[in-house]
Amino acid sequence: MKKIVALILGFIILSCGTNNHISENNETTEITGEIAQKYANSIIVSDLKTHLYSIASDEFEGRETGEPGQKKAAEYIKTFYKKRNITSPLGDDDYFQEIPTAHLRSNLNPSENVLAFIKGTEKPDEILVISAHYDHLGMENGEIYNGADDDGSGTVAVMAIAEAFKKAAEEGNRPKRSILFLHVTGEEKGLLGSKYYTNFPVFPLVNTVANLNIDMIGRVDDAHENNPDFVYLIGSDKLSTELHDLSEAMNEKFTKLKLDYKYDDDNDPNRFYYRSDHYNFAKNNIPIIFYFNGTHQDYHKPSDTPDKINYELLQKRTQLIFYTAWEIANRDKRVVVDKK
């Protein structure tokens, strides 16, 4: 008996040793696995739908920067975080980073970024920023620009990802690094909210390890009409090969979307890399990924409404971003910047 036990024990020790060796060479597989999957699966269609029908409702009047409808949206987002005990990095009950009018365009009223925060365990000073703009175009000639895809879809994705990380934290699976959930204002007026945040960051930019920015992920563009399980990724390898590789690995392992890098071409006339909030991080040498579904017939029109969103796809894309965030927040070392 004893001898057999010793043999089995020896075998177990050997096996463990072997596993450790594998994990060193295959970090991705070891870190983001079944635990992450449990929380990714808590991101569900019905929640995304409920919040998007609210954010993109007529009540919020198209969420134009500085206008009453946008204030309502800001309150809605704040209430969402408060209810779930997801704190603000600005202090008790203060979820708004006010932007003085001097930093906005002259015709705009004061506005605010909305911030929520989950503190990391081992490396709390290293910050991953997950962002989306919550402003849109407002109203014109009595018509409301609901902005369900642009960028209600990104707004509810950030909220859902925060909720999933909060659930993980409550069950003892808090991320190693901290995560800032950043709802920026003034994007449609010229990336003003993200510009303000990066000029007056709450956490030093040198400690900001990456930015995942979401702007329009609820629809399908003409190019993918017949094969809608896709998302455009922009900028993923511009500063960090490692970020690009881990993003690919997460998708391959879990979400299996077609990742389309068409807009990464430097010669693409759309220049999307420069056209949403991630650019304010990228220009500060922070690696970014921009998640995007391309433009469509309702882009920047009053017809960008929540009934036209593909919620299953919105869920899958949000889960991809969650897995990527999980990996960035939990791997041993922060992602390396190896390009200029």
- Contact residues toward Zn ion (CB under 5 A) are 150-151, 215
- Given the complex with Zn ion, which of 133 and 244 has the nearer CB atom? 133
- Given the complex with Zn ion, which of 64 and 150 has the nearer CB atom? 150
- Given the complex with Zn ion, which of 215 and 327 has the nearer CB atom? 215
Distance CA 16, CA 218 (A): 43
- Given the complex with Zn ion, which of 178 and 280 has the nearer CB atom? 280
Asked if residue 78 lies in contact with residue 134, where contact means CB atoms within 8 angstroms, the answer is: no
Strands of the sheet with 177-184, listed across from one edge: 96-99, 111-118, 177-184, 123-133, 208-214, 288-292, 230-234, 258-260
- Given the complex with Zn ion, which of 32 and 146 has the nearer CB atom? 146
- Given the complex with Zn ion, which of 236 and 276 has the nearer CB atom? 276
Distance CA 87, CA 78 (A): 10
Q: 113 to each of 11, 174, 184, 185, 283, how far by Cα in Å? A: 56, 25, 5, 5, 20
Tell me the residue type at 79: T
- Given the complex with Zn ion, which of 150 and 221 has the nearer CB atom? 150
- Given the complex with Zn ion, which of 169 and 214 has the nearer CB atom? 214
Query: Shortest gap between Cβ of 8 and Zn ion (angstroms)?
Result: 59
**Nearest by Cα to 33 from 25, 43, 23:** 23
- Residues 120-147, buried b or exposed e (16+ Cβ, 10 A)? beebbebbbbbbbbbbbbbeeeeebbbb
Backbone phi, then psi, for 75, in 5-degree steps?
-65, -40
Query: Shortest gap between Cβ of 27 and Zn ion (angstroms)?
Result: 34
Query: Shortest gap between Cβ of 273 and Zn ion (angstroms)?
Result: 14
User: Which class for 244: exposed (0-12), middle (13-18), buried (19 or more C-beta within 10 A)?
Assistant: buried
Query: Shortest gap between Cβ of 222 and Zn ion (angstroms)?
Result: 18
Specify which residues 177 forms β-bridges with.
123
Query: Shortest gap between Cβ of 274 and Zn ion (angstroms)?
Result: 13
User: Which class for 26: exposed (0-12), middle (13-18), buried (19 or more C-beta within 10 A)?
Assistant: exposed
Tell me the residue type at 290: F
- Given the complex with Zn ion, which of 300 and 333 has the nearer CB atom? 300
**Nearest by Cα to 219 from 271, 143, 154:** 154
Query: Shortest gap between Cβ of 276 and Zn ion (angstroms)?
Result: 6
Query: Shortest gap between Cβ of 204 and Zn ion (angstroms)?
Result: 27
Pairing of strands 138-140, 143-145: antiparallel
Query: Shortest gap between Cβ of 217 and Zn ion (angstroms)?
Result: 10
Query: Shortest gap between Cβ of 133 and Zn ion (angstroms)?
Result: 6
